[in-house]
């Protein structure tokens, strides 16, 4: 067997300082890439989880035309929450749970000044604020949108669909003078704010509801958000058993498209089934842009790494011209010389990638165990990021770095293989 492999590997140990420098560049580069990928993955995961388990859900089922007309009058396109419908949805493959919801808009007015501060009392006037609310059955909704309930930053969520309490965003509660939720819970019913909401016909209905909890912002657009008990709101809006949507949770979001097709066919023309990425296209774009930016950064990193390798390989060739001449004198073909240097580059890349990825994975693992608390842009909720990298990323990085190093080594290797034996032998 030809000593090509062992010679290529051993040649790396000849000029240790240069090999270490080239190796160092690969190790640092790959380690930094792994950390960046781990962080980007964590951000993507957190953003996706916030969307899938806190904002849109994986799938939503509406009356046909609802998504297009949601801003005009969503209640017009409400439909009956029937046991038959629920069974049909839940019996579909990959569906884990569903939550019936009634989306409505309204205003919330404080009937009495709620503050206990005498100064504020003197200056206070009845206050009103607008909200865009989801009426939910908390028991079912928690199973479909668990993350939403983690964003309750004070107080608690009502326990059943018939409660007279609701949860509002803290930006809604602020103008109503509700700063301390525990103090607010102790107030008598007469001091509860009144929810006024238009029913299907546009007639306003109102009822006093207690604010039991405050929501923080997960995304910049949800500051008008409130959660209300489904049955209480259905009664208030005279829409017994009516809902505007089912939010559906699947065993895995990758099945969203299959389930969408299946449900569209099973539910018939009256309903439309929308995926999360159709309901929140900006999130999909955001995630895709994050990948693109990471791709550009990766390309720059790899380019720098490859330049380091090609420089090191050129130095190796220049240093070993006479040795190349000797090997040629001994009867080695040009292809052998080419392979020798290409393999040397590949070993350098492979070794650097192995070390860089190992160190990177170790740091990512520790960071994941600790968790990185970081606020999302425009959010008041701090996400806890758990960086991770996939096996595919590690495999691709290893293969790409090794093959890339071999590829860029072709240049110096080709130069080496084209040397004339007589000139190479006379090199100093």
Distance CA 106, CA 109 (A): 10
CB-nearer residue toward other proteins: 274 or 339: 339
Kindly indicate which of the ranges 88-96, 252-260, 274-282, 328-336 contains the residues binding other proteins, using the contact rule CB under 8 A.
Answer: 328-336
Binding residue (CB under 8 A) for other proteins from 1, 71, 122, 186: 1
Q: Where are the beta strands (DSSP E) in 40-139?
A: 59-63, 79-80, 95-110, 127-136
Cβ(41)–Cβ(360) below 8 Å? no
Distance CA 279, CA 68 (A): 11
Cβ(53)–Cβ(148) below 8 Å? yes
Binding residue (CB under 8 A) for other proteins from 93, 333, 384, 403: 333
The backbone torsions φ and ψ at residue 206, rounded to the nearest 5 degrees and listed phi first, read -145, 155
Taking Cα atoms as reference points, which of 412, 414, 419 lies closest to residue 307? 412
332 is a site residue for other proteins (CB under 8 A): yes
Give the burial string for 1-18 (b: 16+ CB within 10 Å, else e).
Answer: eeeeeeebeebbeebeee
CB-nearer residue toward other proteins: 142 or 334: 334
CB-nearer residue toward other proteins: 287 or 324: 324
Binding residues for other proteins, rule CB under 8 A, total: 25
16 is a site residue for other proteins (CB under 8 A): no
Binding residue (CB under 8 A) for other proteins from 179, 207, 278, 323: 323
Kindly indicate which of the ranges 178-186, 325-333, 367-375, 389-397 contains the residues binding other proteins, using the contact rule CB under 8 A.
Answer: 325-333
Q: How far is the CB of 333 from other proteins (least distance, A)?
A: 5
* Distances, alpha carbon 415 to alpha carbons 240, 315, 328, in Å: 82, 12, 14
Question: Would you give the binding string for other proteins spanning residues 393-422, x where CB under 8 A is met?
Answer: ---------------------------xxx
Binding residue (CB under 8 A) for other proteins from 269, 331, 391, 392: 331
427 is a site residue for other proteins (CB under 8 A): no
7 is a site residue for other proteins (CB under 8 A): yes
Binding residue (CB under 8 A) for other proteins from 33, 178, 228, 328: 328
Which two structure tokens, joined as six digits, stand for 395? Answer: 């495999």
Distance CA 40, CA 323 (A): 47
Q: How far is the CB of 336 from other proteins (least distance, A)?
A: 6
Kindly indicate which of the ranges 11-19, 160-168, 173-181, 193-201 contains the residues binding other proteins, using the contact rule CB under 8 A.
Answer: 11-19
Q: How far is the CB of 27 from other proteins (least distance, A)?
A: 23
The continuous run of DSSP H or E covering 329 comes out as helix 321-329
Binding residue (CB under 8 A) for other proteins from 202, 252, 330, 392: 330
Taking Cα atoms as reference points, which of 51, 108, 111 lies closest to residue 227? 108
336 is a site residue for other proteins (CB under 8 A): yes
Kindly indicate which of the ranges 5-13, 103-111, 143-151, 255-263 contains the residues binding other proteins, using the contact rule CB under 8 A.
Answer: 5-13
* Distances, alpha carbon 46 to alpha carbons 43, 77, 296, 378, in Å: 5, 32, 22, 14
Burial class (CB in 10 A: 0-12, 13-18, 19+), 189: exposed
Residues binding other proteins (CB under 8 A):
1-3, 7, 10-11, 13-14, 322-323, 325-334, 336, 420-422, 425
């Amino acid at each position: 067997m030809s000593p090509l492999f062992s010679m290529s590997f051993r040649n790396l140990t000849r000029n240790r300082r240069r090999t270490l420098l080239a190796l160092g560049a690969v190790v640092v580069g790959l380690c930094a890439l792994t950390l960046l990928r781990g962080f980007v993955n964590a951000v993507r995961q957190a953003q996706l989880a916030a969307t899938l388990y806190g904002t849109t859900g994986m799938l939503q089922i509406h009356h046909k035309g609802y998504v297009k007309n949601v801003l005009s009058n969503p209640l017009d396109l409400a439909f009956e929450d029937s046991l038959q419908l629920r069974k049909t949805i839940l019996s579909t493959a990959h569906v884990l749970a569903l939550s019936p919801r009634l989306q409505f808009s309204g205003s919330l007015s404080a009937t009495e000044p709620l503050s206990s501060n005498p100064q504020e009392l003197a200056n206070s006037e009845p206050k009103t604020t607008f909200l865009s609310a989801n009426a939910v059955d908390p028991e079912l909704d928690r199973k479909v949108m668990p993350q939403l309930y983690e964003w309750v930053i004070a107080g608690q969520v009502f326990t059943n669909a018939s409660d007279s309490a609701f949860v509002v965003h803290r930006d809604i509660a602020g103008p109503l003078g509700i700063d301390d939720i525990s103090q607010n819970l102790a107030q008598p019913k007469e001091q509860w704010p009144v929810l006024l909401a238009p029913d299907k016909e546009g007639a306003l209905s109102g009822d006093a509801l207690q604010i039991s909890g405050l929501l923080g912002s997960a995304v910049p657009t949800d500051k008008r958000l409130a959660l209300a008990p489904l049955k209480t709101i259905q009664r208030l809006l005279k829409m017994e058993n009516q809902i505007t949507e089912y939010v559906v949770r699947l065993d895995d979001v990758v099945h969203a498209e299959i389930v969408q097709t299946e449900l569209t066919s099973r539910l018939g023309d009256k309903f439309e089934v929308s995926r999360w990425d159709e309901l929140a296209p900006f999130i999909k774009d955001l995630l895709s842009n994050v990948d693109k930016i990471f791709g550009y950064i990766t390309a720059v990193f790899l380019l720098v790494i490859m330049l380091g390798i090609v420089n090191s390989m050129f130095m190796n060739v220049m240093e070993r011209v006479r040795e190349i001449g000797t090997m040629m004198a001994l009867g080695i073909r040009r292809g052998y010389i080419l392979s020798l240097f290409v393999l040397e580059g590949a070993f350098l890349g492979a070794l650097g990638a192995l070390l860089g990825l190992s160190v990177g994975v170790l740091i990512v693992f520790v960071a994941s165990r600790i968790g990185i608390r970081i606020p999302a842009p425009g959010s008041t909720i701090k996400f806890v990021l758990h960086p991770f990298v996939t096996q595919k990323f590690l495999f691709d990085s290893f293969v790409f770095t090794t093959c890339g190093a071999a590829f860029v080594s072709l240049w110096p290797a080709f130069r080496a293989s084209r040397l004339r034996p007589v000139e190479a032998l006379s090199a100093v």
